[in-house]
Amino acid sequence: MDRVVVTCALTGAQQGKEANPNLPESPEDVVAQGLVAWRAGAAILHIHARDAAGRATSDVAVFRRIVEGLRAAGCDAVLNLTTGGAVAGIALEERLRVVPELRPEIASLSAGGGSLLGRWDERAGRWVRDRFVPLFSSHEELERAARLFLDNGVKPELEIYHAGMLNNVRALLERGALAEPPLVNLVMGIPGECTEASVRNLVFLVESLPPRAVWLVSAIGARNHFRMLGAAVAMGGQVRVGLEDSIHIAPGEPARSNGQMVEKAVRILREMGAEPASPAEARARFGTRGA
């Protein structure tokens, strides 16, 4: 039977409780929901941190509280700490600090220069959430970040927002700045300069991956979230769910928790003849060093 690695992205760096009051913000809430998601079948927990006001932060002390809280409760999930937060205005140097200071098994690494986000609101007659989110200013800067991961034994989850970013992944592999196998997260469905979430686009991206890459899909928004999960599983990929990516369990229905999101993902997997992979199986597949 196929074993599929389920990642749960618990909170993200953008939306807060105004979008869904069940979104976890405090370290204690992130730990509590992380434990439920792990018990429901998530092999990997993708973790952002929030400050006391609920805003995204790169404070290593907050990340450490979350990591220690999960481990103290016996959670053996692979922990994937973010180096994202550019959308919240956090400087690159601050975002990268978790890599050398906490040395997680996995940390996210956006593999491009930046994205122009936003959408045209027909009713309002204007662009909304319209901004450019800078990621890396040069290939040299991106390579330095990749080598920081390599030097600290941290597996980068390479965030890909459009096909051009895969060129950067190939260049980093050729330069020896990434360890094999590369782990690629195909992020789809964000309004703006991001690949539209469709099966046709997913086929193109997967066919464009470097050899030996292992991959998952993050489909953003209620319309895309579980629909693309099925496509990823059918194509042999891994999946990601969670309140970072969709605050709804179904269109128009707010999710009660990250655990509910994982439970639904596991039901879909089993309907397709698959089972959720264990953390140990995820480690073996992704080539991480272990807890």
Each residue's pLDDT tens digit, 217-228: 999 999 999 999
Q: Looking at the domain assignment, is residue 164 inside a domain?
A: yes
Q: Of 268, 277, 279, 199, whose CA–CA distance to 232 is shortest?
A: 199
Q: Looking at the domain assignment, is residue 200 inside a domain?
A: yes
**Domain containing residue 21: CATH number:** 3.20.20.70
Q: Looking at the domain assignment, is residue 291 inside a domain?
A: no
3-state DSSP assignment of residue 236:
coil
Each residue's pLDDT tens digit, 2-27: 999 999 999 999 999 999 999 999 99
Q: Looking at the domain assignment, is residue 154 inside a domain?
A: yes
Each residue's pLDDT tens digit, 226-283: 999 999 999 999 999 999 999 999 999 999 999 999 999 999 999 999 999 999 999 9
Q: Looking at the domain assignment, is residue 193 inside a domain?
A: yes
Q: Looking at the domain assignment, is residue 231 inside a domain?
A: yes
Would you state the pLDDT for residue 289?
76
Partners of residue 117 on adjacent β-strands: 131, 192
Q: Looking at the domain assignment, is residue 201 inside a domain?
A: yes
Number of domains within the chain: 1
Q: Where are the beta strands (DSSP E) in 147-252?
A: 155-160, 183-188, 214-219, 238-241, 248-250
Q: Which domain holds residue 270?
A: 2-286
Q: Of 205, 236, 209, 239, whose CA–CA distance to 224 is shortest?
A: 239
Tokens standing for residue 195: 């690949």
Whats the size of the chain, residue-wise?
291
Residue 47 scores a pLDDT above 80: yes
Q: Is pTM, for the whole model, over 0.95?
A: yes
Q: Which pLDDT band, with edges at 50, 70 and 90, does 99 fall under?
A: very high
Each residue's pLDDT tens digit, 173-190: 999 999 999 999 999 999
Q: Looking at the domain assignment, is residue 77 inside a domain?
A: yes
